[in-house]
Amino acid sequence: MEFDLVVRGGTVVTGTDTVRADVGIRDGKIMAVAASLSAPETLDADGLLVLPGGVDTHCHIEQLRADGTADEETWESGSASCLAGGTTSVVTFSTQFKGAGILAPLAEYRRRAARSMVDYSFHQIITDATDEVIWNEIPQIVAEGIRSLKVFLTYDPLHLDDRAYLRVLAAARRNGAFVTVHCENYEAIGWRTEALLAAGHTAAKYHSWSRPSIVEREATHRAIALAELVDQPIQVFHVSCEEVAEEVARAQARGLKVWAETCTQYFVLTAEDQDRPGFEGAKFMCSPSPRGADEHARMWDMVRRGTIDVVSSDHSGWCYDGPRGKRMNGDTANFRDTPNGVPGLSARLPVLFSEGVAKGRIDLNHFVRLTATNPAKLFGLAGKGSIAVGFDADLVLWDPTKRVTITNATMQQAIDYTPYEGMVVTGWPVATVLRGRVAMRDGRVQAEPGSGKFLPRAPYDMIRPRGVLPNGFDTSQFA
């Protein structure tokens, strides 16, 4: 067989197996995984691991803001950062603003994403569950291949009340879509925030005080219970701690189709980071908040138990400095007026490899499942997330021994800081291949804007409802 490119001499790692083999690629697809392949062009992987390209199913890129502007992380800069860090596919977001529909914003997101250098899809955020959106627009976007919705149970003005959340779950069930949920209790956070500000507790560190783990646990329990009522599979986004993961574990033990994602930051950042001098703590503010340092080991336990099976970045597009960054309201701004979120597109694989594989907490195959195979399967990204004949030739050549000190320059992003600054990691991507083309080599991104492609998602079995309904009555057919 003739190949366009052979990745030669590496150790191929999938979610289940590790084998010394060459990878033969033609027309952007993996055509062979075997010994001693040859082609006019080869990529030397001697001494390196050959992993499936990373799949980041929760990241915010060039997201539109209420003032009509967009995040500072553009598709060009964000996708370059992905490639620099070994990620080849993303699922990012199309937002709905209250009072508006979802079709026009989605068209705008797709127009902007045409500059991407990685493959991409979108979760559709629903903030206003009008009849028009629920009954008319959601079916249209699902037909376009947008097969997941995101809802927020907190944040002004994004959050949905329980009735609206139920309507979204029902719409997803009718249309064969998946639902992802930001689980924190809106009323409890608002109430505590008011009290903290009244007490003069305005600094960044009070962000974590405003939303302790209880509010995440309560909303997670409710999100799961309501999803069970509708018989709709969900993924709980950005689980921050064990007590929340235990809610998911209980649901899973009862056979519910509930999955849990966590993010890089919940293995290494802490609430104490928000107490850095000056305004620096704002660099570590995200929601849910990172917890105490003792939580990290418990999160690894939840990963090893299999309760948490996806690790995303939740990359956020807010800079620190500048008129549109976290600091835009000055260094005395209170935590409520400071934008949430941390960047991490490029840090995700190196930090997780270093903390997980290099420190012996998980094995290589588990690392691949968490960062590529499981997210691809759960979100219906066919042909992504593994190294197998017929799959897209999305690969990362990984040096498992290279030690790198993370600086913001190594992240190759538009965001002007990284919360992982100064962290020394073991393991680093040395080349990234997207559909058979070398897109990054030795830190130099060499892809063209527009080389990424939209990934329409067809129906898939994993998210099919169980068919277990209270009283056997399918509410979703009527409301």
- Count the neighbouring beta carbons within 10 Å of the beta carbon of residue 101: 16
- Cβ 366 to ligand URP shortest distance, Å: 25
Which two three-digit tokens encode residue 425?
A: 């990691």
> Which 306-335 residues touch Zn ion, going by CB under 5 A?
314
> Which 413-432 residues touch ligand URP, going by CB under 6 A?
none
Decide if residue 182 touches Zn ion (CB under 5 A). Answer: yes
Residue 340 site contact among ligand URP, Zn ion, none (CB < 5 to 8 Å, cut-off depends on kind): ligand URP
Q: How do strand 308-312 and strand 258-263 relate by DSSP bridges?
A: parallel
- Cβ 238 to Zn ion shortest distance, Å: 6
Query: Which of residues 4 and 280 has its CB atom nearest to ligand URP in the complex?
Result: 280
Which two three-digit tokens encode residue 236?
A: 């709980």
- Cβ 250 to ligand URP shortest distance, Å: 24
Compute the radius of gyration of the chain from its Cα atoms: 21
Which two three-digit tokens encode residue 151?
A: 């809802």
Query: Which of residues 76 and 314 has its CB atom nearest to ligand URP in the complex?
Result: 314
- Cβ 433 to ligand URP shortest distance, Å: 29
Decide if residue 316 touches ligand URP (CB under 6 A). Answer: yes
- Count the neighbouring beta carbons within 10 Å of the beta carbon of residue 333: 18
Judged by CB under 5 A, how many residues of this single chain contact Zn ion?
2
The conformational region for residue 339 under phi > 0 = left, psi -120 to 50 = alpha, else beta, is beta
Please answer whether residues 234 and 227 qualify as being in contact, where contact means their C-beta atoms are separated by less than 8 angstroms. Answer: yes
Which one among 84, 286, 352, 362 touches ligand URP, defined by CB under 6 A? 286
Listing DSSP states for 128-154 in one string gives ---HIIIIIIHHHHHHTT--EEEEESS
Decide if residue 273 touches Zn ion (CB under 5 A). Answer: no
Site string for ligand URP, 215-254 (x = CB under 6 A): -----------------------x----------------
Residue 286 site contact among ligand URP, Zn ion, none (CB < 5 to 8 Å, cut-off depends on kind): ligand URP
Query: Which of residues 316 and 410 has its CB atom nearest to ligand URP in the complex?
Result: 316
Decide if residue 348 touches Zn ion (CB under 5 A). Answer: no
Decide if residue 340 touches ligand URP (CB under 6 A). Answer: yes
Decide if residue 80 touches ligand URP (CB under 6 A). Answer: no
> Which 167-186 residues touch ligand URP, going by CB under 6 A?
182
Decide if residue 57 touches ligand URP (CB under 6 A). Answer: no
Decide if residue 216 touches Zn ion (CB under 5 A). Answer: no
Query: Which of residues 128 and 314 has its CB atom nearest to ligand URP in the complex?
Result: 314
The piece of 22-30, 77-85, 178-186, 384-392 that touches Zn ion (CB under 5 A) is 178-186
Query: Which of residues 12 and 236 has its CB atom nearest to Zn ion in the complex?
Result: 236
Query: Which of residues 96 and 287 has its CB atom nearest to ligand URP in the complex?
Result: 287
CA angle in degrees (0–180, nearest 5) for 155-278-346: 60
Decide if residue 314 touches ligand URP (CB under 6 A). Answer: yes
Please answer whether residues 132 and 141 qualify as being in contact, where contact means their C-beta atoms are separated by less than 8 angstroms. Answer: no
Decide if residue 287 touches ligand URP (CB under 6 A). Answer: yes
Listing DSSP states for 273-328 in one string gives GGG-TTTGGGGG--SSPP--TTHHHHHHHHHHHTSEEEEE--B----SSSTTSTTT
- Count the neighbouring beta carbons within 10 Å of the beta carbon of residue 256: 19
Decide if residue 115 touches ligand URP (CB under 6 A). Answer: no
- Treating both helix axes as pointing N-terminal to C-terminal, what angle do 162-175 and 213-230 enclose, rounded to 10 degrees? 50
Which one among 24, 54, 341, 380 touches ligand URP, defined by CB under 6 A? 341
218: exposed, middle or buried (C-beta count within 10 Å: 0-12, 13-18, 19+)?
Answer: middle
Decide if residue 62 touches Zn ion (CB under 5 A). Answer: no
Closest to 158 in 3D by CA, of 60, 303, 274: 60
d(CA 121, CA 129): 22
d(CA 327, CA 343): 15
Query: Which of residues 60 and 327 has its CB atom nearest to Zn ion in the complex?
Result: 60
Please answer whether residues 219 and 154 qualify as being in contact, where contact means their C-beta atoms are separated by less than 8 angstroms. Answer: yes
How distant is the alpha carbon of residue 239 from its chain centre?
12
- Cβ 264 to ligand URP shortest distance, Å: 12
How distant is the alpha carbon of residue 214 from its chain centre?
23
- Cβ 440 to ligand URP shortest distance, Å: 26
Query: Which of residues 183 and 302 has its CB atom nearest to Zn ion in the complex?
Result: 183
d(CA 432, CA 398): 9
Which strands form 5-8's sheet, in the order they lie side by side? 29-34, 22-26, 5-8, 41-44
> Which 108-167 residues touch Zn ion, going by CB under 5 A?
none
Residue 63 site contact among Zn ion, ligand URP, none (CB < 5 to 8 Å, cut-off depends on kind): none
Residue 436 site contact among ligand URP, Zn ion, none (CB < 5 to 8 Å, cut-off depends on kind): none
Which two three-digit tokens encode residue 177?
A: 């879509």
Residues in touch with ligand URP (CB under 6 A)? 60, 182, 238, 286-287, 314, 316, 340-341
Residues in touch with Zn ion (CB under 5 A)? 182, 314
